């Protein structure tokens, strides 16, 4: 595997492509919605490298090396030398399509020698939990990682890139085939829960209506106090920890939208009736430690042989860490070393198992890391 990592800016990006010293067969593009020339960039890559596969999505911040930026593109050029790959895509018209889209994507990729799948999805029109459920129903013994696109925490429009297609309401999957791929992954948080467990008494998939028989939005606002006026963006600072039963590892759910009319909250993933939720708040030191733990787990599963690390961290973590945000990237480099290339983005949801022998889940507010090498 050969890897080059570039951070591109408007008006100066074209000359940067000449820095790539090999002919890539894959380009990962994590693109700020504020980067104006994304169409021209994709067209230029296809002109220069017509046989290359291109995939990526919009972001709430781009990770390139140990830098976190806005208004840029984190471009990763990859040449696989021992492993085959295949890109597929699925369009959705509404969130109700999410599970079927996941199954369709998985069926297109499924093969005996499929080793790993990376998925990027629209961040606002797809139910991430249902997408993962659809993928898992087909790919029962294949690891899956990825994330939901962001848009600078505006919650207005996200997009996905699949070769020459750049659009919303799209899901793209990249399958890797062959035993010579070494892949590691992990997802860790670092948030602290507080308050009491609340029973979900009324919900519909990812829309939460009632907690303990009370209107969900009204109750949630009572916890947020003065932060309630900035919903839904302020909800990124106060996610929910959810468990379906007492034996499950809790997953975190972040708000995507609110509805004042019916006092509901819309989340990136499902909140089933009968589950229990608790409010969470940030602890800066624990967030950074969570990123460190995630890096250690992912790196250990490839015996430290990482060549590329893909970091997908939640936009809520970035809002909490503020000027310290690069510290969670730096601790990853401290674990994997300076030789591997690092790319990634801040997302509206992360897709990965918790660790090597766990099932794939949709996460929010985690640092999810995928390590790759041949």
- 3-state SS record for 261-288: CCCEEEECCCCCCCCEEEEEECCHHHHH
Would you state the pLDDT for residue 200?
96
Mean pLDDT of the region 301-305: 73
Would you state the pLDDT for residue 283?
81
- Residue given tokens 């390139």 in the structure block: 64
Mean pLDDT of the chain: 93
Per-residue model confidence as pLDDT tens digits over 250-298: 888 888 889 999 999 998 788 999 999 999 887 899 899 999 999 999 9
Residue 232 has pLDDT above 90, yes or no: no
Strand 26-31 to strand 53-58: parallel, antiparallel, or no bridges (unpaired)?
A: parallel
Per-residue model confidence as pLDDT tens digits over 165-210: 999 999 999 999 999 999 999 999 888 888 889 999 999 999 999 9
Q: Is the dihedral of CA 20, 25, 123, 202 positive or negative?
A: negative
| Interacting residues of 243 by C-beta distance below 8 A, sequence separation 6+ | 249, 250, 251, 275, 276
Would you state the pLDDT for residue 281?
84
Strand 62-64 to strand 308-314: parallel, antiparallel, or no bridges (unpaired)?
A: unpaired
Would you state the pLDDT for residue 356?
66
Mean pLDDT of the region 68-91: 97
Cα separation, 9 vs 327, in Å, equals 23
Per-residue model confidence as pLDDT tens digits over 120-176: 999 999 999 999 999 999 998 899 999 999 999 888 999 999 999 999 999 999 999
Residue 99 has pLDDT above 80, yes or no: yes
Would you state the pLDDT for residue 304?
65
| In contact, 333 and 291? CB cutoff 8 Å | no
H or E element, residue 202: strand 192-204
Cα separation, 172 vs 256, in Å, equals 21
- Residue given tokens 């995630």 in the structure block: 294
Count CB atoms within 10 A of the CB of residue 235.
23
Residue 106 has pLDDT above 90, yes or no: yes
Residue 116 has pLDDT above 80, yes or no: yes
Coil, strand or helix: which one is 222?
helix
Q: Both tokens of residue 126? A: 């797809």
Per-residue model confidence as pLDDT tens digits over 326-354: 999 999 999 999 999 999 999 999 999 87
Coil, strand or helix: which one is 204?
strand
Write down the domain spans for the chain.
2-188+285-373, 192-281
Cα separation, 301 vs 199, in Å, equals 37
Would you state the pLDDT for residue 72?
97
Residue 240 has pLDDT above 70, yes or no: yes
């Amino acid at each position: 595997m050969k890897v080059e990592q570039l951070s591109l800016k408007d008006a100066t990006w074209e000359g940067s492509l000449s820095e790539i010293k090999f002919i890539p067969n894959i380009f990962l593009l994590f693109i700020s919605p504020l980067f104006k020339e994304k169409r021209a960039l994709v067209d230029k890559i296809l002109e220069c490298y017509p046989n290359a596969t291109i995939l990526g999505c919009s972001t709430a911040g781009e990770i390139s090396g140990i830098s976190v930026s806005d208004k840029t593109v984190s471009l990763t050029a990859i040449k696989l030398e021992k492993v085959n790959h295949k890109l597929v895509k699925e369009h959705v018209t509404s969130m109700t399509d999410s599970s079927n889209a996941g199954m369709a994507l998985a069926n297109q990729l499924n093969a005996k020698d499929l080793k790993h799948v990376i998925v990027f999805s629209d961040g606002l029109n797809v139910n991430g939990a249902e997408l993962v459920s659809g993928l898992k129903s087909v790919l029962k013994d294949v690891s899956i990682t990825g994330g939901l696109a962001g848009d600078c925490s505006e919650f207005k429009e996200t997009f996905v890139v699949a070769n020459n297609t750049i659009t919303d309401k799209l899901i793209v999957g990249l399958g890797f085939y062959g035993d010579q791929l070494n892949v590691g992954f992990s997802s860790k948080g670092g948030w602290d829960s507080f308050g009491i467990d609340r029973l979900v008494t009324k919900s519909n998939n990812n829309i939460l209506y009632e907690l303990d028989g009370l209107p969900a939005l009204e109750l949630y606002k009572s916890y947020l106090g003065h932060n309630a006026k900035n919903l839904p963006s302020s909800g990124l600072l106060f996610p929910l920890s959810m468990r379906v039963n007492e034996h499950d590892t809790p997953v975190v759910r972040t708000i995507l939208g609110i509805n004042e009319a019916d006092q509901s909250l819309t989340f990136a993933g499902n909140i089933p009736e009968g589950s229990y939720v608790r409010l969470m708040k940030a602890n800066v030191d624990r967030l950074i430690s969570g990123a460190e733990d995630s890096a250690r787990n992912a790196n250990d599963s490839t015996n430290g042989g990482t060549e590329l690390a893909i970091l997908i961290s939640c936009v809520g973590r970035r809002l909490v860490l503020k000027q310290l945000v690069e510290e969670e990237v730096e601790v990853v480099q401290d674990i994997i070393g300076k030789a591997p290339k690092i790319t990634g983005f801040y997302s509206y949801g992360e897709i990965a198992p918790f660790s090597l022998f766990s099932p794939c889940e949709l996460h929010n507010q985690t640092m999810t890391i995928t390590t790759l090498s041949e």
